[in-house]
Amino acid sequence: MQTLLVVFLWVSVSNAAHLRPEGAKEARRPHLKRESKVSADPDPDTATEKEPLRPHIIYALIDDLGYAGLGFNAPDGEPKTPIIDGLVGDGVWLKQHYAFRFCGPSRSSFLSGRLPIHVTQNNCDLCGVPVGMSTISDVLQKAGYATHHSGKWHAGLGSEQLLPINRGFNSSLALLGGSADHYTTERPGGPDGLYTMRDLWQDHGPAEQSDEYSTYRFVNYALKVLDNHNPETPLFLFMSFQSVHFP
C-alpha cells in the first residue's frame, strides 16, 4: 500500500509588507493550537526494515509568496486559502524554514539539495543547477520513482542537458525561464528585449500553444500525470507554480 505525502514550500521575498500594523488585533488562528494528527512513527503496514516506506510525494513550490500570503498565517485571515489551511491543520507546519531572497536560487537549492551558496546565488535564465550535480529527481528515479515536473523551471536552459527531461524527470511541462505572460507564455528575448518569444516546453521540444492561465495550465497537466500513473509505483511530482510571480 502506498501513502501520499504532500509538501508545500513558498518562496518568501519580503515579510515587511505583511507585518501587523501597530495596535491591530491578532487574528484568530485556532487551528495552530491543535496537535498534529500525523504520527512521527513509521506506518507498520507500509514500512519494514527490508522494505522501506516509499510514499507518493507531491511537492508544490509557490513562487514569490510572502510569509503571510496564505490564510492560515495572515494577520487578518486574507486571502482565503481553505484547502492549504486544511493541509496545515491536519499536517505538520515547519516554521523554521528559510528560503533565498528570490526565486531561481531557491529552486536550484531544492533540486540539488545544496545551499544556494553552493549551487547558485544568481537569478538569471542561464543560471541553475550545474550538469555535474545530481538532482532530487535523479536520486528518486534511481530509487524506482516515477518523476514528473509541471510548472516553472528556472534552473538552467543554456543547453539540452539542462532541460527537466534530462535532469531526472520522466516528463515535464515547463516555463523554462524566470517569468512570462501567464496566458500567452510570451516574454522578451534577445538583446534589450528586441523580440518576443514563447516560453513553454514539453519534454524535448516546444509545447502546443495554450491560452490558459499558468496555474490552470500546470495543474491540468499534473492531473493528467496522476490519471495515467500506476499507483503501485511511487510517484514524485514537482509542482512549481509561476504564480504569484509577476507579471
Please give the positions annotated as active site: 103, 154
Contact 114, 105 (CB under 8 A): no
Query: How far is it, in rounded angstroms, from Cα 14 to Cα 11?
Result: 9
The residues near 24 (Cβ < 8 Å, ≥ 6 apart) are: 75
Beta bridge partners of 58: 6, 237
> How open is the CA angle 149-155-156, to the nearest 5 degrees?
115
Backbone angles phi, psi at 132, to 5 degrees: -75, -10
Q: Is 151 exposed, middle or buried (0-12, 13-18, 19+ CB in 10 A)?
A: buried
Find the length of the chain: 247
The residues near 3 (Cβ < 8 Å, ≥ 6 apart) are: 43, 46, 53, 55, 56
Query: How far is it, in rounded angstroms, from Cα 77 to Cα 192?
Result: 42
CA-based R_g, the chain, Å: 19
Q: Show the cell assigned to 44.
A: 507498520
